[in-house]
Amino acid sequence: MMAPGLLPEFDQEMAVTRRLLERSPAGSFDWTPHPKSFTLGALSTHLTRIPRWGERILTQPDYDLTSAPATPPPPHATPAEVLAAFDAAVGAVRQLLTTLSEAELQAPWQLKRNGDVMLTVPRVAAFKSFVINHSVHHRGQLSVYLRLLDVPVPAMYGPTADERM
C-alpha cells in the first residue's frame, strides 16, 4: 500500500503546474524578469524536468550530484514542447507511484556529492521534497512571470485576481 495521500497530492500539484504551463506565451520564451533569473522558456522547461527526478528517486537508492551532465540540454522552444514533455514525465512518474509499496517508499534514499552522503531520508520524503515541493516553488516563480507579462494567472489553491475557482 502506497503512502496515504501521496498520489492524490502528486496529481493535484501536477495539475495546477500544468495549468500555469499552459499559459506560458510562446512569444515570450526568451523573456526574463532579471538578468540572474531563468528565461520563461528555461523556467518552463525546468518544470518539465522536475517530475523526471521522481523516476530516479523511486527506482534508485541514491543520486550523486556529480553525475549530472556538465551542460544541461537546451530549453524547449515552444509551449507545445513544454506540455508534451511535462505530460510524459508526469505520466511516467505517476505509473511508478502506483506500483510501489509502503515499504519501498519508506526505504532509505541518499543524496550524494562525489560519493559523500549529504542526506539520507525515506524515499517518500525525498520524493515530496525534490519533486512535489520543488515543483511548487518553481511554479510560484512562473505565476509571477505570468503576472509580469500580463497573462491571466489561473486559480491554484484559491481564486486569483484573474480567475475564480
Domain residues of the chain, as ranges? 6-148
Which of the four pLDDT bands, split at 50, 70 and 90, describes residue 4?
A: low
Q: Is the pLDDT of residue 3 over 80?
A: no
For the chain, percent of residues with pLDDT exceeding 70: 98
| CATH number of the 6-148 domain | 1.20.120.450
Q: Is the pLDDT of residue 96 over 70?
A: yes
* Contacts for 91 with CB less than 8 Å, ≥ 6 apart: none
Instruction: Quote the pLDDT of residue 139.
Output: 97
Q: Which residues of 17-43 are buried (b: 16+ CB within 10 A; e: fewer)?
A: bbebbebbeeebbeeebeeeebbbbbb
Output phi, psi for 118, to 5 deg: -100, -30
Instruction: Quote the pLDDT of residue 136.
Output: 97
Q: Report how far residue 23's alpha carbon sits from residue 94's, in angstroms, rounded to the nearest whole number.
A: 23
Average pLDDT over residues 93-115: 94
